[in-house]
Amino acid sequence: MARPLILASSSTYRRGLLEKLQLPFTCHTPHINEEALPGEAAQALAQRLAEEKAHAIANSHPEALIIGSDQAAECRGRILGKPGTRERAQEQLQFCSGHPVHFYTGICLLDAHSGKQRSAVEIFTVYFRQLDESQIQRYVELEKPLNCAGSFKAEGLGIALFEKMEGSDINSLIGLPLIRLIDFLREFGVDPLAD
């Protein structure tokens, strides 16, 4: 019998990405503090939160394989969170205009039974076009990216904000590095292409 696979997330974006693998899974919301520690770098934050999310679900699901993932965005040394308001989204986009933004997406696959885990951080960089105030206001008005780190949705109109993108897996930009996850799943005996 296949072991339960759990996505430790309430994100509709991550759920949608994991559905691409056509594996049965359930979602459970981990209740953790997602604030950065004093002086914590974006990459370290993403990895720590991915691991904490997976471990937060483990006690109540001791036979499951649990996927934890989290993302931190950084531009010019500043970590960019989810804006929450239209004004903050516009301010973030103005700050990023003409600059690269690095997205660090942490991934952790935890075997709750054995305690074995695999984790990594995938880096994806987007290079923003030089944007004027009216373009930024129009984008925020149309797409309302208030719950997205960096204040944009790359899978939507956000693509119009960029000059170029660099990274090995576009899914990591959206929130779940599927290529790396597939590698980890195979190490734990789960292959999306197996009979």
Residues taking part in catalysis: 70
Q: How far apart are CA 67 and CA 65, in angstroms?
A: 7
Tokens coding 67:
């996927």
